[in-house]
Amino acid sequence: MVVKTIYPGATAQEVEDQVTDRLEKKLQELPSLDYLRSYSKAGESVIFINAREDISPQEIQLLWYSARKKTADIKLSLPPGIIGPFFNDEFGDTYSLLYAFSGEGFDYAELKDIVDAARQRLLRVKDVEKVDLIGAQEEKIFIEFNDKHLATLGLDAVAVAQVLQSQNSLMPAGTVLTGLQDVPIRLTGAFKSVAEIADMPIRINGRTFKTRDIATIRRGYQDPVQFKMRFNGKEVIGLGITMNKRGNILNLGEALQEEMTAIEQTLPIGVDVEKVADQAQVVNTAIGEFLRTFFEALVAVLLASFISLGLRTGSVVALTVPLVLAATLLVMLLVGMEVHRISLGALILALGLLVDDAMIAIK
């Protein structure tokens, strides 16, 4: 789990002393805790909670709950003005499939709307648990003041910002109570475009100005950029798909391929979709390798057994491989162990040992 806390305006040392150190001392009381790792920088504290490797999945969930509870207990003792703490206990999720959307001539905002529409369709596919947008940039409105110009006019940038903020704030205006229904009163005046911000009159110190007269207003994206995704040298927006625990990756891969084919037919000209990662294909390849190795081992055992031991004795060795594997798969089914890349790799390694044991038993 990651615990992140924002402390605007604080130095790295202040964050360390007043936020990170206090949280760490409280989190050290957690049961099943292995160790904590943290870093502090100006305005931000991040703590990584690492659990012991021998605890069960049920205990992991209890540990994360205890971390939230203990953090809530100490939150009132943290400095005023902090934002958070925020928790992330889903960073261990693995994307089953990952797509990259790029659009020539489309900016991030336009491409994000297209990718978000595709996300809504993919969420309806069976066995899809969640779909995340990766690398999308948040739009911002930047109002940049010229200090020299403000000083000439005798204005304060903070006072101008407060006027703009009060104009765009949402406040309850009351409700009209009638005999039939209650009608809420809604105020107008919220900003809807950059032009409205630029043309807004600002009255300060008995004088009225338009925002465009004292500042430059522009639409842009979050700066500095926190995270961007690139694929094949292009800036893209990724779509990461996570399968639920009850799903079958091979069936999910086929369903997503069918849905993505339908989505690509509705995309605007210039928008391309490329597959970055496909766990369904990886698992299918692993299963193919296992089956090929299994039949190669079976044929090799049959030939070696029949040639060296004869038909009757060789049949005992040859039947050992499929019988033991069938029993192994049955036990895995009974105990709830899934067939995945790790278990398939273990079965491939066990084939050689199985043949050797059968030969030794015959001798």
Return the domain boundaries, the chain: 2-88, 97-138+225-278, 139-221, 282-362
The pLDDT-based confidence of 202 (bands split at 50, 70, 90) is confident
What is the average pLDDT value for the chain, to the nearest integer?
A: 81
Q: Do domains 2-88 and 97-138+225-278 have the same CATH topology?
A: yes
Kindly tell me if the per-residue pLDDT of 251 is higher than 70: yes
Tens of pLDDT, residues 36-85: 899 888 888 999 988 888 887 778 888 888 889 888 888 888 888 888 88
Kindly tell me if the per-residue pLDDT of 257 is higher than 70: yes
The domain 2-88 is placed in CATH, from the list 3.90.76.10, 2.60.120.20, 3.40.50.2000, 3.30.70.1430, at: 3.30.70.1430
Looking at the domain 139-221, which fold is it? Answer: 3.30.2090
Q: What CATH architecture does domain 97-138+225-278 belong to?
A: 2-Layer Sandwich (3.30)
Average pLDDT over residues 297-308: 74
Q: How far is CA 173 from CA 42, 170, 193, 200, in A?
A: 39, 9, 23, 22
Q: Which of 161, 123, 168 is nearest to 143 (CA)?
A: 161
Q: Alpha-carbon distance 6 to 324, whole Å? A: 57
CB atoms within 10 A of CB 329: 14
CB atoms within 10 A of CB 121: 14
Q: What is the pLDDT of residue 104?
A: 83
Average pLDDT over residues 91-108: 82
